[in-house]
Amino acid sequence: MPEGPELHLASRFVNEACGGLVFGGCVEKSPISRNPEVPFESSAYRISASARGKELRLTLSPLPGAQPPQEPLALVFRFGMSGSFQLVPRDMLPPHAHLRFYTAPPGPRLALCFVDIRRFGHWDLGGEWQPGRGPCVLLEYEQFRENVLQNLADKAFDRPICEALLDQRFFNGIGNYLRAEILYRLRIPPFEKARTVLEALQQRRPSPALTLSQKIRAKLQNPDLLELCHSVSKEVVQLGGKGYGPEIGEEDFAAFRAWLRCYGMPGMSSLQDRHGRTIWFQGDPGPLAPKGGKSHKKKSKGLQQGPEDRTEDPPPPSKAPSRTRRARRGLPEQTTAQQPKGTSLQQDPEAPPVTEKRRGGGNQYSQIKGTPSLLSWATSS
């Protein structure tokens, strides 16, 4: 799925592609989307974007004199498994374009579309970042570091470090490929207890005898886990292009695939965490590895997708007895309260139920008259 760097790249694309365009009319939502209608209409407005962690804010700003009089409106998007923004000709809307913003005449007739093949993406009106998400690992590093180190007593850090890294209350912007790359660089077993890994950072202080340049050099040469959450994310942004994309043969993802060291790479092992998401690693998985879990080693060439990375698979059939069968067996009804629970930000809800059957997913990509390459992902990370 798109992670922090991809959301940042998406906001950059919107600003660059739409900076000189004037939009007009109503915002159009597809009839099959369950997301809210966008009650906005203006004869002339501009669109700008900003990103924070795994969220993107789109702001619609009416121009002076536009009719009807309208206050600016902001929407916050979460991309889910396959969300992206595309700028296309108005008469060539891509499939799964669930929200559409049209340019105003006399300019070129274009549409900025929020495209989401799997429909796990969501938008909210009002422009507020989702409550509970921590500071952005990419843009708010000092606040992010402080938030983690001041909350190590939280039960989230009783879990393996690979699972804690997906908790968006503390690691806003980190996802599946980033956690693998970060842990691999530090040779940290993915199923080591998170608190054990992070408590040592509370005591980490540079020697007062070092000069400023020596402290900076030492920090760059020996970054800790929290520093890598920031710097590794930054590396992906600096690659440009689209960021994550497992489609083999897609040239725009070549730089990203060359950058990967661990995620889906030959010789690496993989296990599923307790949420069913695949973690890639090398060596010992660590003391909290799932009992009975079988580690799989990557042999074939190319970027392999874990079960949660496959597109357009139906959820697995429930193995629980049906209501009729329960009644026949004299079993109690299974109520909602008896279902496994978890805080959505802890489980990173953009990940769908794990499936075992793979299907191909097409990449939605277009380029309009010299506009920057647009961002799109048809599979998750």
Catalytic residue chosen out of the listed positions 5, 6, 29, 54: 54
Q: What does the CA dihedral 88, 89, 95, 96 come to, rounded to 10 degrees? A: 60
Nearest to residue 193, comparing CAs of 169, 158, 168?
158
Q: Is 2 part of the annotated catalytic residue set?
A: yes
**CA 204/CA 223 separation, integer angstroms:** 11
Concerning whether 54 is annotated as a catalytic residue, the answer is: yes
- How many CB atoms are closer than 10 A to CB 129? 14
AA identity, residue 272: Q
Q: Of 307, 295, 315, which Cα lies nearest the Cα of 358?
A: 307
Q: What is the distance between the alpha carbons of residues 157 and 339, in angstroms, rounded to a whole number? A: 23
CA 183 to CA 228: how far, in whole Å?
Answer: 9
* Tokens coding 171: 């690691």
Q: Among this protein's residues, is 242 annotated catalytic?
A: no
Long-range contacts of 179-182 (CB under 8 A, 24+ apart): 179/279, 180/262, 180/263, 180/279, 180/280, 180/281, 181/232, 181/260, 181/261, 181/262, 181/263, 182/225, 182/228, 182/229, 182/232
Distance CA 293, CA 124 (A): 38
Token reading at 160? 């393996």
Which entry of 2, 62, 135, 307 is annotated as an active-site residue?
2
For residue 364, what are the contacts with CB-CB under 8 A and spacing of at least 6?
84, 86, 94, 95, 96, 115, 117, 376, 378
Q: CA 154 to CA 198: how far, in whole Å?
A: 12
How far apart (Å, rounded) are the C-alpha atoms in residues 193 and 195?
A: 6
Which residue out of 3, 181, 192, 308 is catalytically annotated?
Answer: 3
Which residues are known catalytic residues? Answer: 2-3, 54
